[in-house]
Amino acid sequence: MSEQPTVDATRTIINHQDEGSRPPPTLEVGLVGWMRQNLFGSPADVIVTILSSLLILLLVFGFFDWAIGSANWFAIINNQRLFMMSSFEPVFEWRVALTVLISALLTGVSLAAWARRSLRMVVVIALAVIVLLAALPPIIESIIPQPYSYFTAGNIEIRDRASTLSPQRDLAFIAKAGETVSLRLALDEVDDIQTLSKLAGFSDRATNALANAAANRLNQQAATGLAFDQMRSGELTEGLEERTRLTIRTFTRTNDMLASTTQYVRHIGGRLTGGDAQVSLLRLWLERLERAARGLDPRETSILEALQAVEDGTVNLSMNDNITADLQDAIRHLTTVTLGSEQLEDLGELLVAQLSEDFIGEPNQSDDDEELIQPSERETEFLRDMFVRLLTPQSVLNLYDLGNTPMAVTIRDARSLEVLAEGLLAGAGDELSYDIPADGWYLLTKDAVEGEEGTAILAAHGIHPIVERTLSATESRFVRLTDNELAITESRPTIDGKNIPFVVLIDNQFRGLRDLQTYLVHFIPPFFKQIEALLLPFFITVVWGYLAGRALSHALGENSVFNHRNSRLVLLVWSLTPLLILLAYFALLDGAGAIDGLPAVILKLAAAFGVVLLVRRIENWLNATNRGEDAEGSLNRALVYGWGIFPFAMFALGSGVGGLSGATIGSLAGGLIWLLLMYFIGLNFQGALGYVLLVGGFFAQVAQAALINLVWDGWYNDPVSSLALWLAIAAIGVFAGTRGARLRTSLDFRLKRYGYLISSIAFVFVLLDTNVLSEAADGNAPLLAGLGLIFWLGWMFFSGATRWSSNRIITGLLLLTYLWMQSWTLVDRWSTIYFIVWLVVGALAFKRGESAQDEKRKVEEAQSGPLLYRYARQGPLVAAGAWIVALLLLPSLVVGLDAQGVLQTSPDDLLPLSDKRLWGGLMITLQLTILGIGASFPIGLALALGRRSNMPAVKYACILYIEVVRGVPLITLLFLAVLLVPLVDPTLATVENIVRAWVAITMFSAAYLAENVRGGLQSLDIGQTEAAQAVGLSTWQTTIHILLPQALRAVIPALVGQFISLFKDTSLVSIIGLADITGIANRVVAQPEFLQKRQETFLYAAIIYFVFSYMMSYISRRIEATGSGAVRAERL
């Protein structure tokens, strides 16, 4: 497409011999060359270029015109929270914030791992953005003065076209400490009607009415003048009958100007229809005449008919010239009266007098008079002036006597009504300014001085429009529209029980044509500050994560995962699977609370087993990789998994999906750690240190539960006893751990395997029911747990310890944290000691395990190289350090400290279920996406495999499912989930819509993913299967080890494409009433302040969607380009 012209080096040299040096071919290289190549290649190209540039210019200018001149960006700025999380309870905002921060941290780490080479650019851009965000608002605010807000004061009613407005006497506003509120008469700005009409800034309704009136009058004036000119030149009368034209041309010579005007107006009204400014003006004039005619002589209908016809826009042109003399008189008389004030009346009289004296000899009504006497230039000017003045009503300035009356203004405290500042504004120099002492409500009172009558426009600094925002069911606050900074939650002020009107946006529509300056000062600072508040912590955390990642990378050495560029996506996908099964399990079982009893236990077990099996598979795969040439420490893999999972886990937990209630998990942190633990434990079923910590942990749990249940309730608050208890537990843990490490020599293989299997089951039981244990002695739970523990111990003692894996470190740390968290819900500061004790235990066991493994290590080092073990030594230490730091920080965020710094100990206090109906915005969109991807991927995989199964029953069932789901629209499934699910089981009616939508999206997406995966499977050579069978692998082994990795790798782009479309499809949930981004956009345009501001809101929503989708597709393209899709590229 864009081939650069290349210069053939050899040819240049040959030419050089003959002709000496030549100038470079300027027309073929450089900018000119590029333009010739890409823009002006052929005549058609030139035309295309011109047309495209025109189109681009049109689009760009149109956009900026709109964006700067007329768009109301407050609709976005003031609804940012709504867009991000809707009415999510403010008390839980920290969850979202925490999630974002942790994601930022891991983004940084991932950048360090994956994008080191191109990072310089990223850093530069990020820095530039930060600088811009931070520096621009103050610069703008200091350079461009804040525009005034205008308020009308006084006691004269201002007539609008439809209603009468009186200036508000009292006005409430909010202000920030340290700001200055200043008020003065706006005499300088609005000393004539022109400036009044263009008044730019926020102004209240009365001022708006004044400005509108001024603008109307100006328009009328201009149009009248234009009409006069056109009338004289005959421009407007073309096409009319000759007779009519003559009448109009003789206008200047008739002695009845007004009658002719009426005639003229009727013609114009007849010829022109629609929204033409002139016509509307003339119509106005006609209305006035109509009123006149009605009042005087109701019998005279011809003019009324004409007027009516003009209104309908279909006047008959023949109705032109038979106005009776009576009517002419009537109109003349009436018009002068209707025009209102004496001055105008005089003017009218004067004009008529002038006309008769100066120009009129014999009135010339003749239809065919060709010899018109043309008035002179001076006469025309005069006439025009008179005409315009006659037809234009009195100036607004004079009408309301603007600014000539002294105004008394007072600033008061809105609560106590105590006067803080007062002043008298009588002239241009007068000003009242007041420094606000504290944030809060204030009251501005403005009125004419006693006994005076008049109106004035006040120009104010520091008084901004206010919007009232509902944050959740219980909370709302008042925010300043223009800077969005000050938010006040106290209720609005009242006088005598009545609300004082405050400066709301609807009353204070911005008026006037907005220029770039106003745009900048109004929209840029608040928006940038807002973005800054969101992005700056994010950036900083990213940098922090990046530095940590680099440190880790440095510690790990050159061949670590940070330098490895292959198959990350597969890793990621694999590592997501178990997590998502878990999430599904939570969401379905606990979140819904629909299934209970035995089915729940079975499902829980199934989900947990799914995790364990998948994890086993990954572990095997990792071990295989480790044995091979790809000498990467499994720690590094594990870290990658961790990083892949962590943000999602945090997100899910942070926003509480799956209804992780306190009763289920213990605490948010506990839940998080539990989740990660589930994963890492899978990696560590055979680890020595893993045993230590696990077993120790379970002893601790049992002991804890026993003590809590058996012993007197309060004693563990006693520090000494509690320390003793923990020490005892620690001792047991150390004992168990060392036993485990010593007895690692293997027994019978089969025994080991069965032991493994059984104890896995038991382990799951234990894990699932730990909390039951710790809660209360509840039925058979302790029994089950005890049984599990026995199996567990059996497995631990009789199965062989295997290789030293650094995963164990992480597992250990996670377990540690889990226990720590658990303990923290019981005792507060002593848990720190507990934690330290466990650290010591961990370190001891670490040491112990290390020395015990010395022999084995030597052997394996010989097999797979020393590198692995270097990581194994360094990596854990670094990781441990990072974890410890993180863990020290986390509790203060996660575990609820109340105002006194006392920990909230009841799990239910820590994590009450939030009302899912209040969730919304980007949060829901992302949640549905992440959970949808996670849940639909394994299902899709299973469907794809099922479809290729050689068992007809399975195969056709899968085909049926896939084809039916693919054949119907997603929205049908969504409605099915909403409407029909309660029919199937009434108990499911309690499930929130978001969960149902998620299930529908998952079902839908799974069918498509299945087809994608099937495509990948089909692209594989049959030889792969045959070879695998020849090696003796079972069907499952072939599928999991041979086929799936290749197939998935081949269809990465298709998978990502499906994920993107899932992301976009989440917008459909707005149709079933969920408030995702699209739903929120529709909500914003229903707010009274931003009614119908669809351009702005939809644009913003589209940008959000675009950013995420484009990011996904960009990553997909990068993966394709860097070779993970290499299989596919070769095949094509």
Partner 1 sequence: MSLQNESRPSDNLLPAVFRDGRILQGIAQIIFAIIVVIVLNDLQTRINTALESTNQSPNFEFLQNRAGFDLADSGSYSSNDRYIDAFRVGFINTLRVVLLGLAATTVIGIMVGIFLLSSNFLLRTLSRAYVEVLRNTPVLLQIFAWFYIAIFALPPQQEAIAFPQEGIRNLPLLQFAFSLVVILAIWQYSGGMRRPAWRTGVRQVGIAIVVLVNLFGIVLVGSGTPIEFLPGIYISIKGVAIFELIPSSLFGVWMVFVVIGIVVAILLWRYFGFITESTGQPIAKARIALIVFIGFVLLGWLVMGMRPTPSVIGVYDEERDVIEEMPYDDAFESGMLTIEQELEYTRQPLIFRPPMLDRRGRNVETGIEISPSYLAIFLGLVIYTSAFIAEIVRAGIQAVPKGQLEASRALGLSQGDMLRLVVLPQALRVIIPPLGNQFLNLSKNSSLAIAVAYTDIYQVTFTIINQSGQSVTGMVMVLLAYLVISLCISLVMNLVNQRFQLVTR
Site for partner 1 in 258-297 (CB under 8 A): 274-275
Among 13, 859, 899, 984, binds partner 1 (CB under 8 A): 984
What does the alpha-carbon distance between residue 275 and residue 97 come to, in Å, rounded to a whole number?
A: 52
Q: How far is the CB of 470 from partner 1 (least distance, A)?
A: 24
* CA-closest candidate to residue 289, choices 266, 262, 257: 262
Alpha helices in 776-901 (DSSP H): 781-798, 807-824, 830-852, 854-864, 867-894
Stretch that binds partner 1, among 672-680, 770-778, 915-923, 975-983 (CB under 8 A): 975-983
Cβ burial 21-32 (10 Å sphere, 16+ → b, else e): eeeeeeeeeeee
Among 1102, 1115, 1121, 1129, binds partner 1 (CB under 8 A): 1102
- For residue 999, state whether it binds partner 1 (rule: CB under 8 A): no
Q: Is 629 helix (H, G, I), strand (E, B) or coil?
A: coil
- For residue 979, state whether it binds partner 1 (rule: CB under 8 A): yes
- For residue 598, state whether it binds partner 1 (rule: CB under 8 A): no
Contact 144, 520 (CB under 8 A): yes
Q: How far is the CB of 2 from partner 1 (least distance, A)?
A: 7
Q: How far is the CB of 866 from partner 1 (least distance, A)?
A: 20
For partner 1, the closer CB: 124 or 1027: 1027
List, as one string, the DSSP characters of 174-232: EE-TT-EEEEEETTTTTSSHHHHHT--EEE-HHHHHHHHHHHHHHHHHHHHHHHHHHHH
Q: How far is the CB of 793 from partner 1 (least distance, A)?
A: 20
**Measured on CA atoms in the order 272, 277, 282, 283, is the torsion positive or negative?**
positive
- For residue 1067, state whether it binds partner 1 (rule: CB under 8 A): yes
- For residue 1, state whether it binds partner 1 (rule: CB under 8 A): yes
Instruction: For residue 711, give both structure tokens.
Output: 């012993």
Q: Are strands 201-203 and 149-154 parallel, antiparallel or unpaired?
A: parallel
- For residue 23, state whether it binds partner 1 (rule: CB under 8 A): no
Instruction: For residue 1037, give both structure tokens.
Output: 């082994």
Helices 257-271 and 242-249: angle between axes, nearest 10 degrees:
140
- For residue 970, state whether it binds partner 1 (rule: CB under 8 A): yes
Among 931, 1105, 1124, 1128, binds partner 1 (CB under 8 A): 1105
Among 29, 230, 975, 993, binds partner 1 (CB under 8 A): 975
Q: How far is the CB of 684 from partner 1 (least distance, A)?
A: 13
Q: How far is the CB of 1108 from partner 1 (least distance, A)?
A: 8
Q: Which of residues 109-128 bind partner 1 (CB under 8 A)?
A: none
For partner 1, the closer CB: 54 or 424: 54
Could you tell me the end-to-end alpha-carbon distance of the chain, in angstroms, rounded to an integer? 20
Q: How far is the CB of 1116 from partner 1 (least distance, A)?
A: 12
For partner 1, the closer CB: 458 or 1119: 1119
Instruction: For residue 68, give both structure tokens.
Output: 């700067």
* CA-closest candidate to residue 584, choices 276, 280, 999, 966: 999
Question: What are the phi and psi torsion angles at 254 (to 5°)?
Answer: -75, 155
Tokens 């490490």: give the residue. Answer: 741
Instruction: For residue 849, give both structure tokens.
Output: 């395990």
For partner 1, the closer CB: 455 or 686: 686
Among 967, 1023, 1086, 1130, binds partner 1 (CB under 8 A): 967
Q: Which of residues 623-642 bind partner 1 (CB under 8 A)?
A: 623-624, 627
Q: Which of residues 708-767 bind partner 1 (CB under 8 A)?
A: 749-750, 753
Residues binding partner 1: what is the number (CB under 8 A)?
A: 72
Q: Is 420 helix (H, G, I), strand (E, B) or coil?
A: strand
Give the chain's largest Cα–Cα span.
135
Q: How far is the CB of 905 from partner 1 (least distance, A)?
A: 43
Residues belonging to the chain: 1132
Binding mask 293-322 for partner 1 (x = CB under 8 A): --------------------x---------
What does the alpha-carbon distance between residue 174 and residue 93 come to, in Å, rounded to a whole number?
A: 25
Among 223, 1068, 1080, 1119, binds partner 1 (CB under 8 A): 1068
For partner 1, the closer CB: 952 or 1088: 952
- For residue 39, state whether it binds partner 1 (rule: CB under 8 A): yes
Among 366, 780, 906, 972, binds partner 1 (CB under 8 A): 972
Cβ burial 246-264 (10 Å sphere, 16+ → b, else e): bbbbbbbbbbbbbbbbbbb
Among 126, 572, 707, 957, binds partner 1 (CB under 8 A): 957
Among 473, 888, 983, 1027, binds partner 1 (CB under 8 A): 983
What does the alpha-carbon distance between residue 818 and residue 836 come to, in Å, rounded to a whole number?
A: 14
Stretch that binds partner 1, among 303-311, 620-628, 636-644, 826-834 (CB under 8 A): 620-628
Stretch that binds partner 1, among 19-27, 488-496, 519-527, 1057-1065 (CB under 8 A): 1057-1065
Q: Which of residues 51-80 bind partner 1 (CB under 8 A)?
A: 52-53, 55-56
Among 31, 953, 1030, 1086, binds partner 1 (CB under 8 A): 953
Stretch that binds partner 1, among 81-89, 593-601, 708-716, 962-970 (CB under 8 A): 962-970
Stretch that binds partner 1, among 170-178, 424-432, 575-583, 1091-1099 (CB under 8 A): 1091-1099
Q: Is 909 exposed, middle or buried (0-12, 13-18, 19+ CB in 10 A)?
A: middle
Among 43, 862, 950, 1088, binds partner 1 (CB under 8 A): 950
Q: Is 112 exposed, middle or buried (0-12, 13-18, 19+ CB in 10 A)?
A: buried
Among 417, 877, 902, 964, binds partner 1 (CB under 8 A): 964
- For residue 976, state whether it binds partner 1 (rule: CB under 8 A): yes
How many CB atoms lie under 10 A from the CB of residue 122?
Answer: 13
What does the alpha-carbon distance between residue 728 and residue 700 come to, in Å, rounded to a whole number?
A: 9
Q: Is 320 exposed, middle or buried (0-12, 13-18, 19+ CB in 10 A)?
A: buried
For partner 1, the closer CB: 326 or 985: 985
Q: In the chain, count of helices (H) and strands (E)? A: 44, 17
Q: Which of residues 190-229 bind partner 1 (CB under 8 A)?
A: none
Q: Which of residues 664-703 bind partner 1 (CB under 8 A)?
A: 686
Residue 422, strand partner residues: 410
- For residue 1025, state whether it binds partner 1 (rule: CB under 8 A): no
- For residue 38, state whether it binds partner 1 (rule: CB under 8 A): yes
Alpha helices in 781-829 (DSSP H): 781-798, 807-824
How is the beta sheet containing 431-435 ordered, strand by strand?
Answer: 431-435, 180-185, 455-461, 149-154, 201-203, 510-511
What does the alpha-carbon distance between residue 216 and residue 1104 come to, in Å, rounded to a whole number?
A: 41
Among 1070, 1080, 1125, 1128, binds partner 1 (CB under 8 A): 1070
CA angle 1103, 1109, 1115 (to 5 degrees): 130
Q: How far is the CB of 623 from partner 1 (least distance, A)?
A: 5
Q: How many CA atoms lie within 13 A of 1108 on its CB side?
A: 19
**Amino acid type, 227:** A
Among 394, 433, 625, 1113, binds partner 1 (CB under 8 A): 1113
- For residue 1131, state whether it binds partner 1 (rule: CB under 8 A): no
List, as one string, the DSSP characters of 658-679: T---HHHHSSHHHHHHHHHHHH
For partner 1, the closer CB: 1 or 13: 1
How many CB atoms lie under 10 A from the CB of residue 854?
Answer: 9
Binding mask 793-822 for partner 1 (x = CB under 8 A): ---------xx-------------------
For partner 1, the closer CB: 295 or 800: 800
- For residue 1019, state whether it binds partner 1 (rule: CB under 8 A): no
Among 239, 298, 901, 952, binds partner 1 (CB under 8 A): 952
